Structure 1
Amino acid sequence: MSVATDADLRVSPIAIAGRFRRLRTELAASPPLWWALLYFFSLLCGYYVLRPVRDAMGASGDAAAVFPRWLVDWSGDAGFALGEYTLQVLFSMTFVAMVLAQPVYGALVARFPRRVFLPAVYLFFIACLAGFYWLFHTTMPGRGAAFFVWTAVFNLFAVTVFWSFMADVFDNEHAKRVYGYIGAGGTIGALVGPGITRVLVGPLGLANLLLVSAGCLAVCLLCIVKLRPWALRRERKAGAHGGEEAMGGSVLAGLKLVWEQPLLRALAITGFFGVGVGTLLYNEQAQIVREFYPGPEAGTRYYATVDWAVNGLTLLVQLFVTRWLLRRHGVAPALLVPAAAILVGYCMLAASPLPILVAMVQVATRAGEFSLAKPGRETLYTRVDREARYKAKAAIDTAIYRGSDLTFVWLHKGLAIFGSSVVFATGFFIALGMTAGAWSVVRAQRALPDAQDSDRPAGEGKEPSPASR
């Protein structure tokens, strides 16, 4: 491992120009990079148009504006105010929806080839947006809760499918060169999305923003069609022929793989505690919004502003640090540096839980995840077989992710009784668990096979995994 010099770390105009020249070189040498950039830009733009709307609903203390009338009446009869448990109930509903959706996705992946299930996922989400467009023009109670839950499911499945597909298109070495740029394309989309929401939520209203998001997903479908030949080309080059065939196996094979394989198990542990760290911050932020930004439009603008700050910092790191770090030093610093930053942030919050500091740590935490940790983890999936890419990865990114959400949103409710300092002191130990998981990932990935071996489907030149039997 080489040691970085001061010249390597200096961000001068010449260095910036050099990085943009490398981007132009990669774009010229890699036609699929263009489509991958457009794909991730459109996907995150569409999602971030919706995210501020969702977050404002989650921060609402008006239960009647979010939940169905029967649930509000039931909570009143039971003697508690549903508005005081908005996030806890919404996260619980999201977990149930994710548990129900996971086997459906597993069956889709197991029984249909890639050319069928990839477009099917996005067509389903477009149809859902059309349904919510109609709901937002009605006064049907409960549409806020339904939209919150659906948006969370959409985010996890759509982004998981994207990165699984990228692991089919790019090999490990190529991924280290371009994943930072692809992430930057998504970050630009994540900057544009909240800008669209912030500017248009007043004149257009919430319902018409859903059509903007649906248009972005339609562009994603075009990109899938354009990238498919490149995935086939990579598979043929590696001597694999199963990319356009159904994988077969159990619909719950992903969870079995996570249990059996050390790398996947370490990724699941990292994700579980990493989500816990974010959930505690998210809940504290929601309390701030309830107090200082009442009303759906004010809350939506606040969350859009935070998203802008997160994605602006993420973009800078992706353009000027991520590629260099992954190629020069591998995944270890990409996973461990954000973990160290979170530990420091939680120490500061435990000592002084000021609202402005909560927002700053939120920005730093999410930016470190999106710009370094996420690309670092995703490169690892280029070195595993297709079952791990599509089944195990989906299980980690959906069921385990939302299981962590459910655990820590209720934990926060209990800890909040003792004040913010206790919340963040507990969060420090959760962050230690995430750091230990990241270190386990770094150790386990050293035993991964060569990239060429990972492109063979399970059963082709090696024993099939127990989960596929």
Structure 2
Amino acid sequence: MTDRSADVPRARGQFRTALRESPPLWWALLYFFCLLCGYYVLRPVRDAMGASSDAATVFPAFMLDWAAARDIALGEFTLQVLFTGTFFVMLVLQPLYGALVSRFPRRVFLPVVYLFFIACLGAFRWAFDSGLPGRGALFFIWIAVFNLFAVSVFWSFMADVFDNAHAKRYYGYIGAGGTVGAFLGPIVTTTLVGRIGVENLPLVSAGFLAVCLLCILKLREWARRNETRRATHDERAIGGSVWAGLKLIVRDPLLRGLALLMFFGVGVGTLLYNEQAAIVRLSYPSAEAATRYYSMIDWAVNGLTIAVQLLLTRWLLRRYGVAPLLLLPACAILIGFSLLAASPYPLLVALVQVATRASEFSLSKPARETLYTRVSRESRYKAKAVIDTAVYRGSDVTFVWVHKALATLGSQVVFLAGVGIAAGMLAGAWRVVRAERRLPDRGRDPAV
């Protein structure tokens, strides 16, 4: 029987060996660490705005006047309105992103994207400091857009830097680096907010994004070498129309499966998030008790994610491929929602929430990103962007309103509906696994 006490030292040794073998792994780890740390510095600010019961602090005056004229209590629909607004912003930005990657090579558009994000953070510093009306909704939507586009661009770039074989070896480590950044970001916020104020936190995040920009510049050379080995023209612009991403998803069975998996995977998370908030309001009436509840979940999610990424993700990918990383979380979530439909107790909700979030970060996402190393560059940048943004937010806005409609019938009805959504997630995972078997298992890139 294997001595489990030797697993951690063995994992440390393998990690050190990977860093020696792959210099770009250093920069990739730093990149993802700073990206998620910068995001999680601002996430508490976003959550506070989304949870505010005072609509006047979130929405601009014209929306408040419109709602008041129609006797609509806008504060009762804060999350629904913010999620819907985020979705429509995504619909507008997706064609602009497609145009960007169609016209400019990677060495141009990646730095431009991050310079734009940094400039936006400077603008939000001014908005917070000046008390700009509607800044809450604007910031909430921008943070959601930033998170999705920035992370999508990151993994697309990693698919250029590392081929399929190296992705299986290193993506678990890279994901763990991001998890550490996500873990430390709120600590940075807690430490600094009392000293510099909320209005200056965007500047702290901008500093992390500046480091991300440096990492992009350092990693471009390895991306160029990898693309040369794949016999492609590295720095040419990615051809095709703005709507090429949608067309690719319609035509390609793998991309259709990934879109289906994303839609239902986000759906179970959105349903669980909203129902959990409703249960917490009933079971933990004080702010202190609710904070302890959420803190327990965050610590469990981050700890479990790091452990799985370091000890299990890489081994599963190399030994069995992506199948267990996609199917096991879907099966676990299906079982979890079935148990919740029978007994929606707060502790069980917390356990399912931990399993859902940790399995997404540690297993499902690294598996999905590994698949993008085996498709065309146009699929990596265009179809992936559609899936990670429009499909993601489309699911968000769909299921946040589904929850609103079902919540009046009780928690058990909500979780029973969640069983069906989890089954859809499992079906999407199975379609991806079947389509993945037809992909070439190599480091060469398919024809673009």
Match of 1:170 among 145, 154, 162: 162
1:447 aligns with 2:438: yes
Paired with 1:222 and 1:233, the residues of 2 have a C-alpha distance of 18
Partner of 2:190: 198
Partner of 1:260: 251
Partner of 2:138: 146
Paired with 1:186 and 1:390, the residues of 2 have a C-alpha distance of 21
Deviation at 1:390, TM superposition (A): 0.3
- Native 8 Å contact 2:32 2:178 kept in 1: yes
- Native 8 Å contact 1:98 1:402 kept in 2: yes
Match of 2:412 among 411, 421, 424: 421
Structure 2 letter corresponding to 1:433: G
Per-residue CA distance 1:374-413 (angstroms, 9 max, x = gap): 0011110000010000000000000111111111111110
- Native 8 Å contact 1:52 1:303 kept in 2: no
Where does 1:379-418 land on structure 2 (aligned, <5 Å)? 379-418=370-409
Partner of 1:221: 213
1:15 aligns with 2:34: no
- Native 8 Å contact 2:161 2:226 kept in 1: yes
Partner of 1:52: 44
For the structure 1 residues 272 and 72, does the alpha-carbon distance in structure 2 shift closer, same or farther, using more than 3 Å as the test?
Answer: same
Match of 1:239 among 211, 231, 237: 231
Deviation at 1:91, TM superposition (A): 0.5
Q: What RMSD, in angstroms, separates the aligned Cα atoms of the two structures?
A: 1.9
Deviation at 1:200, TM superposition (A): 2.9
- Native 8 Å contact 2:95 2:242 kept in 1: yes
Structure 2 letter corresponding to 1:266: G
For the structure 1 residues 287 and 398, does the alpha-carbon distance in structure 2 shift closer, same or farther, using more than 3 Å as the test?
Answer: same
Per-residue CA distance 1:184-230 (angstroms, 9 max, x = gap): 00011011112112333334322222111111100000000000000
1:180 aligns with 2:175: no
Q: Single out whichever of 176-185 and 137-146 deviates more from structure 2.
A: 137-146
Secondary structure of the equivalent of 1:454?
A: coil
1:27 aligns with 2:19: yes
- Native 8 Å contact 2:229 2:444 kept in 1: no
Aligned residues: 447
- Native 8 Å contact 1:346 1:427 kept in 2: yes
Partner of 1:189: 181
Deviation at 1:61, TM superposition (A): 2.2
Partner of 2:61: 69
For the structure 1 residues 294 and 55, does the alpha-carbon distance in structure 2 shift closer, same or farther, using more than 3 Å as the test?
Answer: farther
TM normalised by structure 1 equals 0.91
Structure 2 letter corresponding to 1:311: N
Deviation at 1:247, TM superposition (A): 1.3
Deviation at 1:455, TM superposition (A): 5.2
Where does 1:363-374 land on structure 2 (aligned, <5 Å)? 363-374=354-365
Secondary structure of the equivalent of 1:94?
A: helix
Structure 2 letter corresponding to 1:202: G
Secondary structure of the equivalent of 2:130?
A: coil
For the structure 1 residues 430 and 267, does the alpha-carbon distance in structure 2 shift closer, same or farther, using more than 3 Å as the test?
Answer: same
Partner of 1:130: 122
1:115 aligns with 2:107: yes
Structure 2 letter corresponding to 1:58: G
Paired with 1:298 and 1:207, the residues of 2 have a C-alpha distance of 28
Structure 2 letter corresponding to 1:443: R
- Native 8 Å contact 2:163 2:444 kept in 1: no
- Native 8 Å contact 2:41 2:201 kept in 1: yes
For the structure 1 residues 199 and 300, does the alpha-carbon distance in structure 2 shift closer, same or farther, using more than 3 Å as the test?
Answer: farther
Q: Single out whichever of 111-120 and 54-63 deviates more from structure 2.
A: 54-63
Deviation at 1:111, TM superposition (A): 0.2
Deviation at 1:307, TM superposition (A): 3.4
For the structure 1 residues 383 and 355, does the alpha-carbon distance in structure 2 shift closer, same or farther, using more than 3 Å as the test?
Answer: same
Partner of 1:93: 85
- Native 8 Å contact 2:164 2:374 kept in 1: yes
Secondary structure of the equivalent of 1:451?
A: coil
For the structure 1 residues 294 and 151, does the alpha-carbon distance in structure 2 shift closer, same or farther, using more than 3 Å as the test?
Answer: farther
Where does 1:248-397 land on structure 2 (aligned, <5 Å)? 248-288=239-279, 292=284, 306-397=297-388
Partner of 1:463: none
Per-residue CA distance 1:426-456 (angstroms, 9 max, x = gap): 0111000000100110000000124344254
Structure 2 letter corresponding to 1:430: I
Secondary structure of the equivalent of 2:157?
A: helix
- Native 8 Å contact 1:55 1:300 kept in 2: no
Partner of 1:465: none
Deviation at 1:302, TM superposition (A): 7.0
Structure 2 letter corresponding to 1:393: K
Per-residue CA distance 1:113-143 (angstroms, 9 max, x = gap): 1001111111111111111111111222211
- Native 8 Å contact 1:56 1:303 kept in 2: no
Secondary structure of the equivalent of 2:126?
A: helix
Structure 2 letter corresponding to 1:352: S
Paired with 2:346 and 2:68, the residues of 1 have a C-alpha distance of 32
Paired with 1:202 and 1:303, the residues of 2 have a C-alpha distance of 21
Ranges in structure 2 where 5+ consecutive residues have no aligned partner = none
Paired with 1:101 and 1:333, the residues of 2 have a C-alpha distance of 34
TM normalised by structure 2 equals 0.96
Secondary structure of the equivalent of 2:344?
A: coil
Deviation at 1:290, TM superposition (A): 5.6
- Native 8 Å contact 2:173 2:309 kept in 1: yes
Structure 1 letter corresponding to 2:438: A
For the structure 1 residues 86 and 154, does the alpha-carbon distance in structure 2 shift closer, same or farther, using more than 3 Å as the test?
Answer: same
- Native 8 Å contact 1:156 1:397 kept in 2: yes
